[in-house]
Chain A
Amino acid sequence: MENIVIGLLQFVILVAISPFIKTFIHKIKCILRGQKGPPLTQAYKDIYRLFKKETVISKDASFISRMAPYVVFVSTLWAATFLPVINKYTLLNFTGDIIALAYILALGVFFIALYGMDQASAFGGLGSSREITIAGLSEASFMLIIFTFALQTGSTNIGEIFEKVHQFGISHVPVSVAFALISLFIVSLAENARIPFDNPETHLELTMVHEAMILEASGRHLALFELSSYIKLTIFLTLVSNLFFPVGFYKDTSILFIILGVVVYILKMLLFAVPVTLIEMGMAKFRFFRVPEILILAFILSLISLIIS
């Protein structure tokens, strides 16, 4: 019973914090540019406003367009129920491991690509083909990083991986950790459509990837897409922060440790959001044909980390 409560708590924290993280990244970017920036609750307001609006669907749309937003949203939430945030007991701890998490997220990518092609808009198909290219190339490095940690800890269960990493401390296998960190960071940027790969703020025709696919969405459907992209970013940041900054993951389930864990977790998320911001400020978006080269770089680094681990 206690485990279910803790699992539910972690799930709720992860979903509740995700719009805040997105607005935090945007806010830091605005401050660095010398602008004032939106208030930190802006993303919650956006989602609320979109939920109230009417949904318009093109007359050429099939049942895919009605179904895809819900499938994407549910698959992202489903992946979130696997992910330990502050304790190893999660809601669906017994049904799947870290490989299941990767492929449930891939299910969401598949349906969002179908949605882009469904409404017979030229931009949608363009965005879908780009998204599938990026997702397919980053898949391999993500799996290799997972295998690196699975080999080191002797398990593919996420809770056990996190617990072992926190027991050893970061200095157990330093060299492979450094390579895996950079590789997972590149993969996270690619999967979440952040700046060197895609610009989340623009609606310029030639450069958009994620925005092109959901260009036709409106109202409730758009809100679901936006919310699931926020949650996906938070899932990746949680994974990175718990693997490479092993503090604040406790076995103890007393109230005090849970509160401490939540506070440390939020601080860690804000800490790991800063490099994302700095990269977005310091770099321009890459030409699309340069993207495979950078993803090959991530693949090479993850392969090195697997070999020397």
Chain B
Amino acid sequence: MIKFLVEFFGAMSLFLAIAQLSSNRLNLSIKIYQLQSVFLSMSILFIGIATFEFELYISSFLNLLIKAILIPFFLFKVVEKIKLDREVSMYLNITNSLLFSILIVIFAFYISNKIDITGEVIAKQIFPLSLGIIFIGIFIMISRKKALSQIIGFLTMENGILLAGTSLTKGMPMIVEIGVFFDVFVGVLMAGVLVFQIKTTVESIDTSRLSDLKE
């Protein structure tokens, strides 16, 4: 039953990563990321229950606090400050990127069949799911034009890495995990400040306009 719940919440995280590709507003993207973080911390919590590791409870709680509350709160503030610039613009349109995501997921399942994982594994399907989340995060980073969407792509990728790491190793040492969480948080803060800088320089957060020449 616990194995089912771990895999179910992992699958919901992958679903939300795919749904991230279909969002056309920055607000909606942040909300989807928030929900994904909630599902991710549920999954980590159930891994913790399955393996009786106390540190995973703390990790799950920190994940909920930082990724589901603090980072979305900050990103909503950024979206509020940069008015009139709320649409997601992209190099590949929504339908095509959704169709591309099926190839990504198939690729993730294919290569994880080739990898031979030794040792005790809690839920076998969680590794290909988290690989899928990582690849979709990278795909969001390279296919979106706006700086804020690229931040969300990075965060999605980071969620996938955390899920893969936790499911394979029963959690990294506590000090490393806390370091990673604050690294992500500070990274997002700095990226948010950079977004304001881009906004003041080129009057938009569209990164493709950074390469335009100015007199």
Using CB atoms, name the residue of chain A closest to B100: A300
Hey, which chain A residues are within 8 Å of B1, CB to CB?
171
- Answer whether residue A73 sits at the interface, using C-beta atoms and an 8 A cutoff: no
Interface positions of A from 274 to 309, Cβ below 8 Å from B:
290, 292-294, 296-297, 300-301, 303-304, 307-308
Using CB atoms, name the residue of chain A closest to B128: A308
Interface positions of B from 1 to 39, Cβ below 8 Å from A:
1, 3-4, 7-8, 10-12, 15, 18-19, 22, 24
Question: In whole angstroms, how far apart are the Cα atoms of A297 and B16 in the complex?
Answer: 11
Name the distance in Å between A132's Cβ and chain B's nearest Cβ. Answer: 19
Hey, which chain A residues are within 8 Å of B4, CB to CB?
170-171, 174
Check B102 against A297 for contact (C-beta < 8 Å): no
Check A303 against B102 for contact (C-beta < 8 Å): yes
Question: In whole angstroms, how far apart are the Cα atoms of A170 and B3 in the complex?
Answer: 12
**Could you tell me how many residues of chain B have their Cβ less than 8 Å away from some Cβ of chain A?**
25
**Residue of B7, B11, B102 most packed against chain A (CB within 10 A):** B11
Interface positions of B from 139 to 175, Cβ below 8 Å from A:
none
Check B105 against A296 for contact (C-beta < 8 Å): no
- Answer whether residue A175 sits at the interface, using C-beta atoms and an 8 A cutoff: yes
- Answer whether residue B196 sits at the interface, using C-beta atoms and an 8 A cutoff: no
The SS class assigned to the A binding surface is helix
The SS class assigned to the B binding surface is helix
- Answer whether residue B99 sits at the interface, using C-beta atoms and an 8 A cutoff: yes
- Answer whether residue B66 sits at the interface, using C-beta atoms and an 8 A cutoff: no
Name the distance in Å between A165's Cβ and chain B's nearest Cβ. Answer: 14
Check A178 against B12 for contact (C-beta < 8 Å): yes
Interface string of A63-102 (1 = CB under 8 A from B): 0000000000000000000000000000000000000000
Name the distance in Å between A187's Cβ and chain B's nearest Cβ. Answer: 15
- Answer whether residue A230 sits at the interface, using C-beta atoms and an 8 A cutoff: no
Question: In whole angstroms, how far apart are the Cα atoms of A296 and B3 in the complex?
Answer: 30
Check A300 against B12 for contact (C-beta < 8 Å): no
- Answer whether residue B101 sits at the interface, using C-beta atoms and an 8 A cutoff: yes
- Answer whether residue B57 sits at the interface, using C-beta atoms and an 8 A cutoff: no
Hey, which chain B residues are within 8 Å of A300, CB to CB?
18, 98-99, 101-102
Question: In whole angstroms, how far apart are the Cα atoms of A303 and B101 in the complex?
Answer: 11
How many residue pairs at the A-B interface have CB separations less than 8 Å? 57
Interface string of A202-239 (1 = CB under 8 A from B): 00000000000000000000000000000000000000
Hey, which chain B residues are within 8 Å of A178, CB to CB?
7-8, 11-12, 15
**Residue of B24, B102, B106, B109 most packed against chain A (CB within 10 A):** B102
Question: In whole angstroms, how far apart are the Cα atoms of A301 and B22 in the complex?
Answer: 13
- Answer whether residue A179 sits at the interface, using C-beta atoms and an 8 A cutoff: yes
**Could you tell me how many residues of chain A have their Cβ less than 8 Å away from some Cβ of chain B?**
20
Check A174 against B98 for contact (C-beta < 8 Å): no
- Answer whether residue B95 sits at the interface, using C-beta atoms and an 8 A cutoff: yes
Name the distance in Å between A186's Cβ and chain B's nearest Cβ. Answer: 11
Question: In whole angstroms, how far apart are the Cα atoms of A178 and B1 in the complex?
Answer: 14
Check B95 against A293 for contact (C-beta < 8 Å): yes
Indicate which residue in A171, A179, A293 contacts B22 across the interface (CB closer than 8 Å): A293
Name the distance in Å between B135's Cβ and chain A's nearest Cβ. Answer: 13
Q: Given A297-B18, A297-B22, A307-B106, answer yes or no on A175-B98 (Cβ-Cβ < 8 Å).
A: no
Check A307 against B109 for contact (C-beta < 8 Å): yes
Hey, which chain B residues are within 8 Å of A303, CB to CB?
102
Hey, which chain A residues are within 8 Å of B22, CB to CB?
293-294, 296-297
Check A179 against B95 for contact (C-beta < 8 Å): no
List 20 interface pairs A-B (beta carbons < 8 Å), by A numbering: A171-B1, A171-B4, A174-B11, A175-B129, A178-B8, A178-B11, A178-B12, A178-B15, A182-B15, A293-B95, A296-B22, A297-B18, A300-B18, A300-B101, A303-B102, A304-B102, A307-B105, A307-B106, A307-B109, A308-B128
List chain A positions with a Cβ less than 8 A from chain B.
Answer: 170-171, 174-175, 177-179, 182, 290, 292-294, 296-297, 300-301, 303-304, 307-308
- A-B pairs, top 7 by smallest CB distance, nearest first, are A178-B11, A171-B4, A174-B4, A174-B7, A175-B125, A175-B11, A293-B94
